[in-house]
């Protein structure tokens, strides 16, 4: 075994791990996005507001930190990370 065998193996391991991570990083926004279809249906969620009532003004809405116009989550719909701030559902409660 040559003195370069170990560094070469380490390089190959790191390189292959980096190549394997490319699709994960490239599609991370899609991979992290999730919806809770059952809860959406039960609460009659829609992507548009009902008059002045919108998810952005709801007590249950959890906006994305530093990006209030992007889809966030809802305390009522566990696991759903695609709640539009301009959406609406029947669980709407005005923020105090």
Query: Mind listing the pLDDT tens digit for each residue in 27-54?
Result: 444 445 688 899 999 999 999 999 999 9
Longest dimension (CA), the chain: 74
Does the pLDDT at position 22 exceed 70?
A: no
Alpha helices in 27-93, H assignment, sequence order: 28-32, 37-42
Average pLDDT, rounded, for the chain: 82
Q: What is the mean pLDDT of residues 56-66?
A: 95
Write down the pLDDT at residue 68.
Answer: 85
Judge contact between 44 and 56, C-beta under 8 A. Answer: no
pTM of structure: 0.64
């Amino acid at each position: 075994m040559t003195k370069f065998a170990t560094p070469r193996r380490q390089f190959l391991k790191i390189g292959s791990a980096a190549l394997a991570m490319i699709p994960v990083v490239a599609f991370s926004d899609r991979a992290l996005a999730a919806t809770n279809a059952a809860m959406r249906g039960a609460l009659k969620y829609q992507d548009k507001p009902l008059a002045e009532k919108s998810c952005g003004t709801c007590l249950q809405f959890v906006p994305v930190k530093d990006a209030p116009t992007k889809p966030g989550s809802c305390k009522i719909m566990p696991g759903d990370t695609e709640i539009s701030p301009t959406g609406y559902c029947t669980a709407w409660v005005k923020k105090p």
